[in-house]
Structures are given as C-alpha cells and as structure tokens.
Chain A
C-alpha cells in the first residue's frame, strides 16, 4: 500500500517537473513579438546635449501636479537654493548627468523611462497598474490601481520606476511621455519641446531610427556606431546616440530578448488554460478519497487497535 502511493507521489513530482521542463524548452523556441515602429518615442543625442537641464525643469513644471513630483533638496543645500536630484527618484522623472572620462572627454546623458516594446514592468504588475498602449507604445502608470508592491522596480532592467519612500501615501514615479499633460495639449513631450539644441527629438520610432542611422552614416567618426535601444530587451522607444560607450554612460549592456518573454513562457506553460492545476487537484482528490476509504475500512477491522478512537468517536 505504502509502496504504490509512494510511486504515485513520485509520479506527481515527476509530472510537475516535466511541465516545467517543457516550459523551459519552449522558452528557447520563442515566437518573436513584432516591433511596433509606429509607436512614439524619443531620440536623445548625447553629442548635441549641452547640459542646460531645461528638460528636467520643464518636466517637473508640466508633470508636477499630475505626476506628484516635487523639488529635491540636496544634502549640501542648507539654504534651500537648489533643485538637485541625485538620481531619478520619487520626485524626478527625467535627469541629466555628466559622465567624465577625463578633463577633455565627457558626455552628458539623459535618464528616463525607455518605454520598452515588451516592458517587464507591465508583464509583472499584478493589478494592471502598468499598461502598455498598443498604438502609441507608451508605458503608463495608474496610481489608482497600484498596490505599491514594487515588483515593477525589481523587474525593470534599467531601474527606472521609482518609489516615494518618504511619503505616507506613496506611488511609483516614471516618465509617461507626458501622456496626460504636454502631449495632449501640444503634441510633444515637455522635455523635447524645450530642448534648445535638438538633442531630444520626439516622433515616431521609425522616423527616429531613420534619423539616428542618418547621423551615424554622416558623421561616423563622431558616434559609437550603434543606436542604443534599437534592439535592447526587444527594442525600446527611447533611443540613444552617443560618442562614448553606452555602458560608461550608465546604460546597461543588455541582450536582445525581452526578459518578460522568458518568464511569461514558463508561467504560461505551467498555467495554460488552468489545465495543470485542475488535473493536479482531481488526481490528488482521487488518491486522497481512496486512501480515506481504505483507512476507514482498516479502522473498522481493527477497531480496538490503534484506529479505534479515530472511527469510533466518543469512547
């Protein structure tokens, strides 16, 4: 009796393992998501940026109320004279930093949401607070749905979503391409609108890519010969050109597969049509009910033995 049930048990463990294995295999044979080049995005050309930070100021001015942004007091700022965020944060959606290779060689770099084609944050959000607009490609955040679990932060390969750690009523903060503010009113993001040198271009992804490649071709000696974001994690709508290696500018070296594809394949294989859980439950029910019956029978026969007080009730 014990032996058969052990076999059954091992079978179940084996079956679970097999399901997972299958998931793993099908993950490598992926059906690729088509890149939507009609999506809107931005092209940031680090070689044209002069570091005026007008984009930062304008972002905060335009999105301050809607996006719950505030000015940031730096540690050195005892007189309250600066808005000097150290990094993207619960108060800052976009940020200009300066990378210094040497006194002669340096490059500005802009950080903000990359608006991935297959965003991890959207894939992991349990309550659909992060959404990906199929048409525009904008990755948006809805604080009225968000439970604040911060899984999006864990998932984002660029560390973009930020959380308001110091507030009693916190939310996630990240760029939404001015979807509800400047884009509605003026048809352009606030940062691109105010950029005096054209370092930030707003437009459709296909046009931006074309422009980027034109620049790479026209001045090959000026640029690193690659458009960052063209293929990273399945493609992003925020694209970069730079004269310095992107990794030095704080843009991580990433593969071309979206992490969400890998995790979703496994999760989908296990839970496809909810068949596996239902099958598991019914199999276990069969085994357990049969065992219970056997047990009760055994209990009757040896009523005065060890099973006595189990079947007999009050004694």
Chain B
C-alpha cells in the first residue's frame, strides 16, 4: 500500500478551540498533580464501596470502545474486503491511538501504586484467572500495534520533510539564546530521512500481519472488559450481570466503532470545512443496524433465559437506565435501516450519535449505574475528578487536531473526486 491517498490538512494550529482545549488540559493535568501529592481521595469521590469511578468507567471502559473506530474500520477493509474505505482508516487509527494511549494514561492516574506496574511483565506474578491481567496486557500490546500501524504516516512525512520548522526553531535559539549551531546537523537529518526511506517499504511488507494483530487484540480485550464484571455477581444488577457480558461488550464496541467513525468524519469535515464523506459513511451505516440487532437480541434473549424480563419493566431506577440505553441503541438502528436516512448526512449524524450514547450508557450501566455494593454507599464524581477526565479528553482532541495538520492523515480530496466521477460513469 502506498500512502498517496492521504493528505495533510493545511491550516493554522493555533485556533480558538485549540486554546480552550489547552486550558482544560492544563487544569486537568494540574489536578493530576494534586492526586499524586495528596492521594486519590483528595480529588475524587471514589470510596471503598465504589472503588472504580468515572476514570475507569469513562476513560478506560467507554473510552476504549469509542476508540474502536480503528478496529471496526480494519475489520471492514481487510477482512470484509472493502478496500474503498481505505482512505478513512488513517484518521480512525489516529483517534484509536489517542483513545487507547490516554486510557492507559488514565489507568496510571487511577491505580494507587503505579510504580508496581512492572509486575505485569514478571511471569511469576502473572495471574491468568484475572480478566484485568488480560485487559492490561492486551491494551498495552494494542497501543503498540496502533503506533506501528500509524508509523507509515510518520515515515512518509520524515522522508519528504525539509525540516523547515526545526531549522527556523534552531535559528531562533541560535539568535536568542546563543545556542551553538551544530555543523553536522544537515548530515544527521539526512540520515534520518534515509532510515525512514529504508524502513518504509519493509514495514509495508509486514504491515498486514500487524494490522491483523490489531484486529485480534481488541477482540480479546474488549470482550474481557465485559468479563471484568463477571465476578461482581452479588453487586451488579441482574439486568446486566450475565455470562454473556464478554460477547455483549465485543459487539457493543464494534457498533460503537462504526458509529464513532461516522461521527468523527462528520465532525472533522465540518470543523475543517471539507466536503462530507456521505457515500462512504452511508456504506458504514448499513452495517451498524445488523450488529445492533444481534446485540439487542442477545440482551433480550439472555434476560428471558434468566427470567429477568420483568426487571426490564419494573420502572425503578435500574430499569429506567436499562430502557434508556436500550431505546437509544434501538432508535439509532431503526433510523439506519432506512436507505434514505443513510444518504442524509444529518440523519447519519443523529443516528450514530444515538447509538454511541446508548452503547456508552450500556458500559456506564455495567460499571457504575447498575453496580450496587450494598447499603450506605453512594457515588457521584467530584468536580476535580470530572476535570481530570475532561483534561485528558481535551488533550486527546488537541493531539488529533495538531497531528492531522502536520501529518498526512485525512483522505485526499482529489482521490475522492476521482472515485465519485468514476462511480458516476458506471451509473
């Protein structure tokens, strides 16, 4: 695969939204500083009854599902053989990198004794019974795989770069600080280019095996994210506690993945003032209802099998959240069954948003809302706790905004116009 159907988005990096996000990021990271100095209790409302708060529920359990765009697109392109979606994959992978990277970062903020994390690499400490062990190793491996998958974009840029920014930066440093100019700098930079040029074709050859690894790993750890709550049989409400948790989480991350790919494309086209990719998105959207129908049937079938259908309609706190989650997903899917809705960017956006909300609410229900450790325990996130999550998400968006402006990530416009013209000819 060559990389010519991607392009850099040429625009200023310093935009108003960038500055707002930057402020949020700084606040978030300052609070993370407080957490490390004064303990987790100082910034969060987590307790011994609710030992997992929104950092795990949102940043890890839900954030990685939202970051499944790369996973879902890879299945579509490489396994279901729809290579015409290929131009969309790079931005999907980039958001996945940020989603997973920051989930990993949040875990390091959340765990109490992060300096012991090296134990994951010590075989005598391995504990294969633990779903958490599986999730941790898989997520670490997958983040590495994602970076490898994204590497071609970096290499292409390195190969072609003129180092203008670096040169001008060094010039400024030279003038203002009196930093000595290195004589052999040009030579060194040249060698970086040569290495990049050498590495790229070799990486291309093995890339497909890395990509497939990038499909296998999320299949494993997304299902294990569901397995994490299997043990809480006495705490998780029967509406959600089932042996099918791993399967439900797996399908859930797939439809969230496709829906988020639609949302990301729509939002970034809107924000970067590019034409909407309606045709590609309509194709994506046609897959989603099938996945959600499977998912909804498993949910209902399992409830019937366990004799919990009554709990669905008991209209208490739990049944309310269950119905909300169920209806959001069902409504979004119903909209997408209609071909005409799939051709409209507005309906695509609305239905994808409904499905992402419903799917994310499912994960919140399993991790927090349906979780009841017993009498006397309550949890609602503290402001500082929320601001840490907001800061991390803001950092994620900044990273995406900046990288699409310096690396070839977004689909090339003229490629798409060519494709459109060609399709028109055929028709």
B312 contacts partner chain A, Cβ-Cβ < 8 Å:
no
Instruction: Given A291-B78, A295-B83, A310-B5, decide whether A20 and B244 contact each other with a Cβ distance below 8 A.
Output: yes
A145 contacts partner chain B, Cβ-Cβ < 8 Å:
yes
Q: Complex formed: what's the CA distance from A178 to B256 in Å?
A: 49
- Determine the residue in chain A with the shortest Cβ distance to B209: A285
A281 contacts partner chain B, Cβ-Cβ < 8 Å:
yes
Q: Complex formed: what's the CA distance from A291 to B224 in Å?
A: 29
For A287, list chain B residues within 8 Å (CB): 78-79
- Pick the contact of B247: A20, A127, A262 (CB < 8 A): A20
For B136, list chain A residues within 8 Å (CB): 126
Mark out the residues of chain A between 281 and 315 whose CB falls within 8 Å of any chain B CB in the assembled complex.
281, 284-285, 287-289, 291-292, 294-295, 305-307, 309-315
Instruction: Given A20-B244, A125-B130, A259-B231, decide whether A165 and B46 contact each other with a Cβ distance below 8 A.
Output: yes
For B130, list chain A residues within 8 Å (CB): 123-126, 151
Mark out the residues of chain B between 76 and 120 whose CB falls within 8 Å of any chain A CB in the assembled complex.
78-84, 86, 107, 110-114, 116-117, 119-120
For A151, list chain B residues within 8 Å (CB): 130, 132, 228
A163:B48 contact, CB within 8 angstroms: yes
For B227, list chain A residues within 8 Å (CB): 263, 266-267, 270
- Pick the contact of A281: B124, B212, B230 (CB < 8 A): B212
A171:B112 contact, CB within 8 angstroms: yes
B381 contacts partner chain A, Cβ-Cβ < 8 Å:
no
For A125, list chain B residues within 8 Å (CB): 127, 130, 132
For B111, list chain A residues within 8 Å (CB): 147-150
Looking at the complex, which of B181-189, B214-222, B274-282 is the stretch in contact with chain A? B214-222
CB distance from B302 to the nearest CB of A (A): 9
A146 contacts partner chain B, Cβ-Cβ < 8 Å:
yes
B232:A6 contact, CB within 8 angstroms: no
Q: Complex formed: what's the CA distance from A306 to B279 in Å?
A: 15
A187 contacts partner chain B, Cβ-Cβ < 8 Å:
no
B250 contacts partner chain A, Cβ-Cβ < 8 Å:
yes
A306:B216 contact, CB within 8 angstroms: no
- The digit string for B127-147, where 1 denotes a CB below 8 A from any CB of A, is 111111110100000000000
For B128, list chain A residues within 8 Å (CB): 271
B15 contacts partner chain A, Cβ-Cβ < 8 Å:
no
CB distance from B150 to the nearest CB of A (A): 18
Q: Complex formed: what's the CA distance from A267 to B128 in Å?
A: 9
Instruction: Given A170-B40, A284-B215, decide whether A124 and B422 contact each other with a Cβ distance below 8 A.
Output: no
B216:A280 contact, CB within 8 angstroms: yes
A184 contacts partner chain B, Cβ-Cβ < 8 Å:
no
- Pick the contact of A126: B124, B127, B415, B419 (CB < 8 A): B127
For A284, list chain B residues within 8 Å (CB): 79, 212, 215-216
Q: How many residues of B contact A (CB 8 A)?
A: 83
B78:A165 contact, CB within 8 angstroms: no
- Determine the residue in chain A with the shortest Cβ distance to B74: A288
B208 contacts partner chain A, Cβ-Cβ < 8 Å:
yes
Instruction: Given A259-B231, A315-B4, decide whether A126 and B81 contact each other with a Cβ distance below 8 A.
Output: no
CB distance from B118 to the nearest CB of A (A): 9
Instruction: Given A154-B235, A315-B4, decide whether A306 and B422 contact each other with a Cβ distance below 8 A.
Output: yes
For A16, list chain B residues within 8 Å (CB): 219, 223, 247, 250
Q: Complex formed: what's the CA distance from A20 to B250 in Å?
A: 11
Q: Complex formed: what's the CA distance from A314 to B200 in Å?
A: 14
B113:A171 contact, CB within 8 angstroms: yes
Q: Complex formed: what's the CA distance from A205 to B107 in Å?
A: 39
- Pick the contact of A154: B1, B117, B231, B250 (CB < 8 A): B231
B42:A166 contact, CB within 8 angstroms: yes
B49 contacts partner chain A, Cβ-Cβ < 8 Å:
yes
- Determine the residue in chain A with the shortest Cβ distance to B220: A277
A155 contacts partner chain B, Cβ-Cβ < 8 Å:
yes
- Pick the contact of B119: A17, A147, A260, A313 (CB < 8 A): A147
B17 contacts partner chain A, Cβ-Cβ < 8 Å:
no
For B215, list chain A residues within 8 Å (CB): 284, 288
Q: Complex formed: what's the CA distance from A313 to B250 in Å?
A: 37
Mark out the residues of chain B between 352 and 384 whose CB falls within 8 Å of any chain A CB in the assembled complex.
371, 373-374
Looking at the complex, which of B20-28, B31-39, B258-266 is the stretch in contact with chain A? B31-39
B51 contacts partner chain A, Cβ-Cβ < 8 Å:
yes
A127:B116 contact, CB within 8 angstroms: yes
B320 contacts partner chain A, Cβ-Cβ < 8 Å:
no
B119:A145 contact, CB within 8 angstroms: yes
A93 contacts partner chain B, Cβ-Cβ < 8 Å:
no
Q: Complex formed: what's the CA distance from A163 to B117 in Å?
A: 17
Mark out the residues of chain A between 202 and 256 whose CB falls within 8 Å of any chain B CB in the assembled complex.
252, 254
Q: Complex formed: what's the CA distance from A154 to B53 in Å?
A: 11
Mark out the residues of chain A between 79 and 135 whose CB falls within 8 Å of any chain B CB in the assembled complex.
87-89, 120, 123-129
For A87, list chain B residues within 8 Å (CB): 48
B415:A124 contact, CB within 8 angstroms: no
For B213, list chain A residues within 8 Å (CB): 281
- Determine the residue in chain A with the shortest Cβ distance to B35: A168
Instruction: Given A171-B113, A306-B422, decide whether A259 and B232 contact each other with a Cβ distance below 8 A.
Output: yes
B40:A288 contact, CB within 8 angstroms: no
For B233, list chain A residues within 8 Å (CB): 157, 259, 262-263
CB distance from A191 to the nearest CB of B (A): 21
B81:A148 contact, CB within 8 angstroms: no
| Known A126-B132, A284-B212, A309-B5; further 9 A-B contacts with Cβ < 8 A | A127-B133, A129-B119, A147-B116, A150-B112, A159-B374, A267-B129, A285-B212, A306-B84, A309-B415
21 residue pairs of the A-B complex, CB under 8 angstroms, read A16-B250, A17-B298, A126-B136, A127-B127, A128-B125, A149-B110, A151-B228, A163-B40, A165-B46, A259-B232, A259-B233, A263-B233, A266-B243, A267-B224, A270-B223, A285-B212, A287-B79, A291-B83, A295-B83, A309-B2, A310-B5
Interface residues of B (CB under 8 A from A): 1-2, 4-5, 36-42, 46-49, 51-52, 75, 78-84, 86, 107, 110-114, 116-117, 119-120, 124-134, 136, 208-209, 211-213, 215-216, 219-220, 223-224, 227-235, 243-244, 246-247, 250-251, 294, 298, 371, 373-374, 415, 418-419, 422
